[in-house]
Amino acid sequence: MATATEYTTGPRQRDVLDALWRLFSSPYLTLALAVAVALALLVAAALPQQPEAAHSDAVLRSQWLALVHRRYPTTGETLLAVGALNVFHALWFRLLIALLVFNLCLGLINLAETVWQSRHSLAVRRPESFFAEENSTVSLTTSLPWDEALGRTRRALAATLARPREEHAQEVAYFHADSGPWPLWGALALHVGVLLLIAGGLVSGRFAWQTEAIRLGVGQQAAVHGTRYVLRLDDMAVEDGDFRAGVVLLEGGEEARRGVITAWRPLRGGGLTVRGVGYGPAVVVRATDNTGQPLMLQSFVEEAEPSRSVYLSFGAPGEERHFAVLERGLVVRLVLIARGDADAGPSFHVQAYQGNSVEPVFDGTLVASDQVEIAGDYYLVDVEHYALLQARHDPGQGIVILGLLLACGGMMLMMWKPRAQAWALVAAEGGGVTVKVRGAAKERDQRFVCLIAEVERVLATPETKDDRRG
Amino acid sequence: MIAVDEIVFWGIAYACFLVAAGAYAVVLWRGLDVATLVGRLTGSLGAVLTAVGLAVRLARAGRWLLVGSGEVAVLVVVIAVVAFLLLGRRSELQGGGVGVFLLIVLLDSFALWSLVIRGAGGIPLVAGGGGGVLATLRVALDAVAYGCLLVGGGFGLVGMIPARWPAAGRPSADAVDVAAWQAFIWGASALSGGLLIGVLAAYLAGYSLWSPESGLLWSMGVWAVCGGSVVVERVGSWRAALATLATAAAFVVMLGGGG
């Protein structure tokens, strides 16, 4: 049996608009566009993509371009020109998505029409020629009385398929049954789900944002750019290469949310998702003279002011930080030697220079929190960790998740509950009754085979003649 | 510390898969039962040795979660063999084994190149948020998905062989279609499950679903082709073997890009 055209076309001639409609609603176009989107996702996943912030920040944009040219000295310009390094914002990708949306919308309309027709305007009564299709029609003749044959055919259809309907005309009865609403609902869900997925992606692309990584030491706080929220790190612990950061989200100075952030657990609140993206070693330095009086220190970070302590954070080994001891004309240099692991903490190389001398007055190594004596003063160095936090706002995420759920569910229904339908004709002819059954399903669909077997079984009398065609 | 090297196991397994592919080619050409037996035995032995090699590698590394597309590809190879033995157990389908084992050899070549020759794990196909149970479940589901799609794709390849070519053991078009569709729906279902678990894990970990670090773009790519194939197969008039082949091809392209 073959998948048959289920509805007769209207009386009017097909015009160019019909052809365009068929072209743009074609499932083959859906597949072609899905393949193109898949390739675009492959490119987006395999090649580094331009950071979101670089779209609005000229400095970041120039840094990004420099990185591209360093990484792809020969192909960088071409990759940039074709949008391979900024796939989700490239014109060709947007056109692709627009075409896919158009195709899915037309497919959705076709499906909605099919759903409507299947319940309201399905032609149960079919002409004799409809049952002349040899490959998908089976014809049986029985000596049972017409009423009996009618009842048994009805039962066979109801036992194999769902939603049986019938119409009568003189000595002929017409039947239709199908596999129920689920296959069509599955197709609808798949289309709606993918459209929601795309809509969620568009909402994310338009309204989602995320901050750069915010480096916070214990006790420090930082405003989340563009919001009324402030992040504060209350405590920080590093164990077995993982970290636990106690974070408070403040709104107008009041605590709005408190929680522990790990590599796999963010903090959510106020429409924000705060994620831990890493951690690193830091030192807090306090200094006193030999009488115990505190010394004023100043780090060289921007807008730093003299203070009784300085906070210096480090990234990769080899990074160095400096601070000055104002009363002593002393500059202290710390270089991170190792970030440390589960067994040992971070280690630093410490040097101190006085005045314009190039010879250090102190040169040593620091492997843990300790007190160091430099030029008669005492420097208490606390080694701790800072947390790298990133705040994100993404109003499209929920839509994407809902879309994926619908699309996956719809696809499952389409696969596991394939559509099948059958028409039957029961007619009194001469002294007997002829039953013709025509199915419309995929070649491998066993339900039509079962239906025929069931019809044969219920009509079985010694005189039943099987006139199977095809 | 385990002194045994996984490369020995994988090397012998690779040879087994080559022999199995050859044996199934003989089955397709001549329809010999003895070749079927050789194919089944060498294929099964290859799968066992591949699994043992993977276990040895993980034990040496002191972890049980797969890392990178290379290790996932090794698991997919094992699952593909098991799926073929289950889905293609009917004698009339044995000729389809040549397509399946050709794809298995192709995938195993990628895995060995990635893990042994290049000495790297490749891009983490199933990385992303979650860790622990969710990540393990996702790896398992993705491996089942790709294994089944590979088997369906193998049947699809055999279904593409022109009818005029001499092949005494050629499975019928309908048999190939049924087997390919069975493999496809199991694979697509596992892929959907893996994708949803990946989305859940990424959400729980606070990742953006669209960022490469969530590891979802790979699965979404294959899933997109899978969904398109279902629509074409259901709404259009494509045979299942074609739909499965398209999705298996998408998987191979994705893997190639990731490696």
Do the chains contact at A264 and B204, CB–CB below 8 Å? yes
Residue pair B78/B50 in contact by the 8 Å Cβ criterion: yes
Residue A130 confidence (pLDDT): 83
Nearest to B227 among A34, A201, A265 (CB): A34
- Residue A105's pLDDT band (boundaries 50, 70, 90)? very high
Do the chains contact at A38 and B221, CB–CB below 8 Å? yes
- CA B94 to chain CA mean position, Å: 18
Q: What is the DSSP letter of B229?
A: H
- Over residues A330-347, mean pLDDT: 80
The verdict on A28 touching B (C-beta cutoff 8 Å) is: yes
When divided into structural domains, chain B yields a total of 1
Do the chains contact at B234 and A419, CB–CB below 8 Å? yes
The verdict on A443 touching B (C-beta cutoff 8 Å) is: yes
Nearest to B174 among A263, A264, A443 (CB): A443
Q: State pTM to two decimals.
A: 0.80
Q: Sort out which chain B residues have CB atoms less than 8 A from A201's CB and list them.
A: 210
Give the tens place of pLDDT for each residue, B203-249.
Answer: 888 888 877 777 788 788 888 888 888 888 877 667 777 777 777 77
Domain region containing B111 = 6-258
Do the chains contact at B250 and A412, CB–CB below 8 Å? no
Tell me if B194 is assigned to some domain: yes
For residues B127 and B63, which has the higher predicted lDDT (pLDDT)? B63
Residue pair B98/B28 in contact by the 8 Å Cβ criterion: yes
- At how many degrees (to 10) do helices B216-234 and A397-416 cross? 40
Residue B154 has pLDDT above 80, yes or no: yes
- Residue A443's pLDDT band (boundaries 50, 70, 90)? low
ipTM of this predicted structure: 0.85
Tell me if B223 is assigned to some domain: yes
Residue A325 has pLDDT above 60, yes or no: yes
Give the tens place of pLDDT for each residue, A178-221.
Answer: 888 888 899 999 999 999 999 999 999 888 888 888 888 888 89
Contacts for A265 with CB less than 8 Å, ≥ 6 apart? B204, B205, B206
CB count within 10 Å of CB B65 equals 13
Contacts for A446 with CB less than 8 Å, ≥ 6 apart? none
Tell me if B1 is assigned to some domain: no
Tell me if B148 is assigned to some domain: yes
| Residue A59, token pair as written in the block | 């400095």
Tell me if B78 is assigned to some domain: yes
Give the tens place of pLDDT for each residue, B230-242.
Answer: 888 877 667 777 7
Q: Which CATH class is domain A124-179+418-470?
A: alpha beta
